[in-house]
Structure 1
């Protein structure tokens, strides 16, 4: 039994935040400046009452509508989000019911951001190859826009909302056994947790009238303790240190050279960061895929969204070897290889 990716679909909310709209609110930031710095033109934004599960359900329904799998055959649902519908119950349990999946289906939420998709593939591979499941539905869905104060230019220019659904299946023992996903390299450094955080809202620091008080920082960004905070320079420094080491480790473990990789799909953070990573790793531009211009940074959804777009554009073909690398909030990072089927 060996796991492979059978299909990927994604769902985008209808709401838009364009650079023109942003520049109209903040005249000191021109359309050209925003796009040059971030590489992003449009971010997709959920409605007030539209939640991560709503996007995730719609992405999963596209999997079933495509005919590659029927909902009755799903025996495990993995859901990655940092904006769940409730503290409890698990959002995956709610989605199992809404999707009409069997009651014999396992369902699990896991809270990870930018590395979440790679972690999810590792979990799905483990479930399938230990024969705990045969058809795993991995859903990522984020609505970071709900964490962001409208006056915080530093993060509002970057993040968008989106969901993806990935169907993972197995190839039986009668078929040629190849490794289609793996091996995996993981990393964690919780000392960096304070650099990308929503400080209040959990049990450690419940929200109060005081925590909702807004203030302006030295860069002119407005937020409260109830909103998302990002220390961009620290995140950038962490990324430039951790990602090259992770790629080198993955290549060493697999005994491969960087030239053997057909396509690199990193977490789609922003143009500035990805350009630095590509140049530092000396990756050819034509092998380095970027797919965030019309979406923004959609956190755990960026990698599968980019994989789907690359497939649609003919950038990935059967037999290609793809390296995916996730990194960010936590700090958390992960990388693996995918042999495209």
Structure 2
């Protein structure tokens, strides 16, 4: 018994923000520099009362409708998010009830960001190939916009919100997901962090003050802090090695892959990575100009959009690599399904 990707669906919030609009509202934010650095012109942003679980439910319902699934067809829900509805209870449990899934399903949250889809595929594969599940609903959803200070140009023009849902199913057709490589470097945790997002730092009756940095970006301890240089350095230091490692573990050369699908980090990061691993643009799939960096959703959305564009033939061999907040990274090999 092996695990395989069966289908993917995704949802983007209705509300959008454009880089052009940000540049008009903030004349000191040069438009072309923003777009050159991020590669993003439009981002979808969750509504004030719209949570990651709301997007996840909509994406799951789209998957069900598009592929004639019933809620009872799945026996495990994996929900990858860093913006849960609550710390207690587990948001995956709320998804089970809202989607009308039977109480016999397992459900759990994973707190991972940019590498989360790779880890989620690894967990889904483990559940299926050890006989614990026949079909897994792998859900990724994040609303990072709720962490972003409106006057922080280092991240405001970059992060978008989204949800993506992947059906991972048991098959007798042979290996279609894996092998995997993983990596972790917690010494870089402060390169991407929301300091007051858990129990380590908490504020009392008054919210923490807004503080500008030396570049004019404004944020508080409740907002996301990103060390852009640290993230770029980490990516170029660790990710090419992960790509080489997955080639070695799979016994395949980079030339034997139809495409590499990276986490959609930013234009600057992706171009540096593409050059370093030596791939042509047509085999390095980038879909972020009208979406932004959607964190855990970026790889499945890129897969779905490449499929919509006719860039993924049935049986295509793909190298997926995620990297970012943690610091964390992972890579795997997947075979694109025949009837996605």
What is residue 35 of structure 2 aligned with on the other side? 35
Residues 211-230 of structure 1, C-alpha deviation per residue, up to 9 Å, x if partnerless? 52111110000001111000
What is residue 80 of structure 1 aligned with on the other side? 80
Deviation of 1:209 after TM superposition, in Å, equals 5.0
Residues 152-187 of structure 1, C-alpha deviation per residue, up to 9 Å, x if partnerless? 110111101000000111114xxxx42100000000
What is residue 57 of structure 1 aligned with on the other side? 57
1:95-244 to 2 correspondences below 5 Å: 95-172=95-172, 177-208=173-204, 212-244=208-240
Provide the C-alpha distance between the structure 2 equivalents of 1:202 and 1:312, rounded to a whole number of angstroms.
Answer: 39
Check the 8 A contact 2:29/2:153 in 1, yes or no: no
Deviation of 1:66 after TM superposition, in Å, equals 1.3
Deviation of 1:332 after TM superposition, in Å, equals 0.4
Structure 2 residue corresponding to 1:308, chosen from 304, 307, 317? 304
Provide the C-alpha distance between the structure 2 equivalents of 1:149 and 1:209, rounded to a whole number of angstroms.
Answer: 20
Compute the TM-score of the two structures, normalised by the length of structure 2: 0.97
What is residue 324 of structure 2 aligned with on the other side? 328
Structure 1 residue corresponding to 2:251, chosen from 252, 255, 258? 255
2:251 counterpart of 1:245: no
Provide the C-alpha distance between the structure 2 equivalents of 1:143 and 1:296, rounded to a whole number of angstroms.
Answer: 12
Deviation of 1:116 after TM superposition, in Å, equals 0.1
Provide the C-alpha distance between the structure 1 equivalents of 2:17 and 2:227, rounded to a whole number of angstroms.
Answer: 22
Provide the C-alpha distance between the structure 1 equivalents of 2:133 and 2:67, rounded to a whole number of angstroms.
Answer: 20
- For structure 2, the residue ranges without an aligned partner over 5 or more in a row are none
Compute the TM-score of the two structures, normalised by the length of structure 1: 0.97
Aligned pairs, number: 337
Check the 8 A contact 1:193/1:331 in 2, yes or no: yes
Provide the C-alpha distance between the structure 1 equivalents of 2:40 and 2:306, rounded to a whole number of angstroms.
Answer: 17
Residue 67 of structure 2 aligns to a residue in which SS? coil
The root-mean-square deviation of aligned C-alpha atoms, in Å, is 1.0
- For structure 1, the residue ranges without an aligned partner over 5 or more in a row are none
Check the 8 A contact 1:201/1:207 in 2, yes or no: no
Deviation of 1:195 after TM superposition, in Å, equals 1.0
Provide the C-alpha distance between the structure 2 equivalents of 1:126 and 1:193, rounded to a whole number of angstroms.
Answer: 27
Provide the C-alpha distance between the structure 1 equivalents of 2:299 and 2:68, rounded to a whole number of angstroms.
Answer: 21
Provide the C-alpha distance between the structure 1 equivalents of 2:296 and 2:197, rounded to a whole number of angstroms.
Answer: 21
What is residue 69 of structure 1 aligned with on the other side? 69
Deviation of 1:21 after TM superposition, in Å, equals 1.0
Residue 113 of structure 1 aligns to a residue in which SS? coil
Structure 1 residue corresponding to 2:267, chosen from 271, 274, 284? 271
Deviation of 1:31 after TM superposition, in Å, equals 2.7
Provide the C-alpha distance between the structure 1 equivalents of 2:128 and 2:104, rounded to a whole number of angstroms.
Answer: 16
Deviation of 1:32 after TM superposition, in Å, equals 2.3
2:276 counterpart of 1:280: yes
Provide the C-alpha distance between the structure 2 equivalents of 1:247 and 1:258, rounded to a whole number of angstroms.
Answer: 8
Provide the C-alpha distance between the structure 1 equivalents of 2:53 and 2:311, rounded to a whole number of angstroms.
Answer: 30
Provide the C-alpha distance between the structure 2 equivalents of 1:103 and 1:233, rounded to a whole number of angstroms.
Answer: 46
Check the 8 A contact 2:8/2:63 in 1, yes or no: yes
Deviation of 1:262 after TM superposition, in Å, equals 0.3
Residue 114 of structure 1 aligns to a residue in which SS? coil
Change (3 A) 1:296 1:84: same
Check the 8 A contact 1:152/1:223 in 2, yes or no: yes
Provide the C-alpha distance between the structure 1 equivalents of 2:68 and 2:171, rounded to a whole number of angstroms.
Answer: 15
